[in-house]
Amino acid sequence: MHLFVLLLFYLWISLIHASFSGISLFAICGHSLINKRRFIPVFILTAVLGFLETYWIPMALYVGLSIRCDQPEILGFFNINQNENIVRSLFPKAVSLGLWIIQAIIADFIGRSVYLKLIRKLTMR
């Protein structure tokens, strides 16, 4: 159950990051990205989302942040023991890149649809 809650929390954070980054990217340079192929904004968003999900790890280790857990399903998921720091196991892996690409596709969809909706509203006035 704790692993399920952890994964739901990760999904929630991922959707927040995808929405924020997609809307921000299209708000800043949507006029030039709207007519480009989709892989260009997806590539940019993948880099942004990768940064958003990993920038805190080196800082957390530098200041000595330690996250420990005693739940067996979470310990098994991260493949660590009870005394190890979970933060060290959160460095990006190959699966992370796949998740960032999926998030970038979602971010592109959200940003593009919000941008087009805003342009339609502005041109109807």
pLDDT tens-digit readout, 61-90: 778 777 777 888 877 877 888 888 777 777
Q: Is 51 inside a domain boundary?
A: yes
**Is the model's pLDDT at 109 over the cut of 70?**
yes
Q: Is the pLDDT of residue 59 over 80?
A: no
Residues of the domain holding 98: 2-55+92-124
Q: For residue 105, tell me if it sits in a domain.
A: yes
Confidence bin at 97 (pLDDT 50/70/90):
confident
Contact call for residues 3 and 73 (beta carbons, < 8 A): yes
- Fill in the DSSP letter of residue 88: G
With cut-offs at 50, 70 and 90, classify the pLDDT of residue 104.
very high
Average pLDDT across the chain, whole number: 84
Asked whether residue 15 is domain-assigned, the answer is yes
Q: What is the mean pLDDT of residues 21-32?
A: 90
What pLDDT does residue 1 have? Answer: 66
Min mean pLDDT across 2-6, 94-98, 116-120 is at 2-6
Does a structural domain hold residue 7?
yes
Domain count, the chain: 1
User: Is the pLDDT score of 119 beyond 80?
Assistant: yes
Helix (H) or strand (E) holding 28: helix 2-33
Check whether 107 has a pLDDT greater than 80: yes
Angle between helices 94-124 and 39-54 (to 10 degrees): 120
The predicted model scores a pTM of 0.76
Note the pLDDT of residue 114.
93
Judge whether 24 lies within some domain.
Answer: yes
Query: 65 lies in a domain?
Result: no
Residue 102 lies inside a defined structural domain of this protein: yes
